[in-house]
C-alpha cells in the first residue's frame, strides 16, 4: 500500500485567503484554489459564487458576521479539485503528480488544508480535510466526454495528455465532516506535530514539513497512518460543502 499527503484549498499563496474553521467543532468550509486563466468545455466553468452559500451558512451558525471573503474572487473560476461530490482528483502526472500517477487500487490519497480559526489566533490550523481510497488512475484525455464535468482537469479544453484523474471508492472516501488538526508552527514553518508524526510512522519529508512542497510527501508507514486515522472516528461526506 502507498499513501500520499496532498495539500489542497485556497491559501495565502493561491487566492490570498484562508477558509474558516471552528476549532471547537472541527467544522470548516472547503474553498478550492483559483483556476487561473483557463479555457473550458461549454458550461463547465465553476466559479466561487458556488461557495458563497456555504460561507454564509457557516458565518451565521457561528455568529462571526462578515467572513471577509475577497470580493475580487466572486466571479473568478475555481479549481474544484478534489471534487468530493464526484470523488475525483486530478493532477499533472509528469510533474507534481508523478507519484499519484503510479497509484493502484487500494492506495490512499490524504488531503489537508491550511485553515483560519474563527477565534482570535495568530497561527493557521493545518488539518486533514478528506481522504480517498483509490479505485483507479486514468489519463485525463482518455476519459469519455460524459465524464468531463466530473473533474477540474477534464473541464479544461484542451485536456492535457500529461494529466491524470483519480477515481475513489465510496463509501471509504470523501470530505471529512470535521477536519483533523495535525500541524503546528515549529522551526520557522508549519509541520506535522511530533506526537502525530510518530503515530503515523513518519513522512518522506524532513521533520514533518507541510507548509509547501514541490512534490506531495508520502507516508512511510501507511498502515500505521490508517490505524491512527480510524481511531479519530472520521465521517465521510460525499459533497464539497
Residue 165 lies in a domain: yes
The distance from CA 91 to its chain's CA centroid, rounded to whole angstroms, is: 12
For range 16-24, the mean pLDDT? 96
At 177, the pLDDT band (50, 70, 90 cuts) reads: very high
Residue 89 lies in a domain: yes
Q: Are 240 and 80 in contact (CB under 8 A)?
A: yes
pLDDT band at 135; cut points 50, 70, 90: very high
Domain that holds residue 165: 3-233
Place of cell 474553521: 21
Is 21 a domain residue?
yes
- The model's pLDDT over 190-218, given as tens digits with 9 standing for 90+, comes to 999 999 999 999 999 999 999 987 789 99
pLDDT score, position 96: 83
pLDDT score recorded for residue 214: 77
Cell of 64: 462571526
Instruction: Give per-residue pLDDT as tens, 144-168.
Output: 999 999 999 999 999 999 999 999 9
pLDDT digits (tens, 9 = 90+) for 60-118: 999 988 788 999 999 999 999 999 999 999 999 988 889 999 999 999 999 999 999 99
Residue 238 lies in a domain: no
Task: Please check whether residue 104 is in contact with residue 134, taking contact to mean a CB–CB distance below 8 angstroms.
Answer: yes
What integer best gives the mean pLDDT of the chain?
96
Residue 119 has pLDDT above 90, yes or no: no
When divided into structural domains, the chain yields a total of: 1
Grid coordinates given for 182:
495535525
Question: What would the grid cell of residue 23 be?
Answer: 476549532
Question: Count of CB atoms within 10 A of residue 97's CB?
Answer: 24
Residue 164 lies in a domain: yes
Measured CA angle at 82 (ends 226, 20), to 5 deg: 85
Average pLDDT over residues 36-43: 94
pLDDT of residue 33: 97
The H helix count followed by the E strand count for the chain is 5, 12
DSSP, collapsed to helix, strand or coil, labels residue 48 as helix
The predicted structure's pLDDT at residue 66: 79
For residues 70 and 107, give the distance between their C-alpha atoms in angstroms, rounded to a whole number.
37
Mean pLDDT of 37-52: 96
Q: Note the pLDDT of residue 95.
A: 82
Q: Residue 84's closest CA among 8, 145, 157, 10? A: 8
Q: Please report the pLDDT score of residue 58 as a whole number.
A: 96
The pLDDT assigned to 46 comes to 97
Q: Is residue 241 part of a domain?
A: no
| pLDDT of 121 | 76
Amino acid at each position: 500500500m502507498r499513501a500520499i499527503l496532498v495539500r489542497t484549498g485556497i491559501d495565502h499563496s493561491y487566492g490570498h485567503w484562508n477558509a474558516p474553521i471552528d476549532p471547537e467543532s472541527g467544522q470548516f468550509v472547503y474553498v478550492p484554489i483559483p483556476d487561473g486563466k483557463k479555457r473550458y468545455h461549454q458550461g463547465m466553468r465553476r466559479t466561487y459564487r458556488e461557495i458563497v452559500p456555504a460561507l454564509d451558512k457557516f458565518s451565521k451558525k457561528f455568529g462571526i458576521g462578515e467572513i471577509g471573503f475577497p470580493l475580487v474572487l466572486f466571479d473568478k473560476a475555481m479549481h474544484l479539485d478534489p471534487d468530493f461530490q464526484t470523488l475525483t482528483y486530478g493532477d499533472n502526472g509528469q510533474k507534481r503528480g508523478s507519484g499519484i500517477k503510479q497509484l493502484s487500487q487500494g492506495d490512499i490519497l490524504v488531503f489537508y488544508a491550511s485553515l483560519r480559526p474563527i477565534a482570535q489566533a495568530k497561527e493557521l490550523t493545518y488539518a486533514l480535510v478528506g481522504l480517498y481510497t483509490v479505485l483507479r488512475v486514468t489519463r485525463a484525455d482518455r476519459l469519455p466526454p460524459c465524464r468531463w464535468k466530473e473533474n477540474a482537469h477534464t473541464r479544461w479544453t484542451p485536456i492535457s495528455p500529461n494529466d491524470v484523474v483519480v477515481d475513489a471508492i465510496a463509501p471509504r472516501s470523501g470530505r471529512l465532516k470535521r477536519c483533523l488538526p495535525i500541524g503546528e508552527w515549529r522551526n520557522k514553518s508549519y509541520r506535522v506535530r511530533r506526537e502525530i508524526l510518530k503515530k503515523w510512522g513518519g513522512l518522506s519529508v524532513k521533520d514533518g514539513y507541510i507548509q509547501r512542497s514541490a512534490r506531495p510527501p508520502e507516508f512511510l508507514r501507511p498502515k500505521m497512518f490508517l490505524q491512527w486515522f480510524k481511531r479519530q472516528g472520521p465521517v465521510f461526506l460525499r459533497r464539497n460543502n
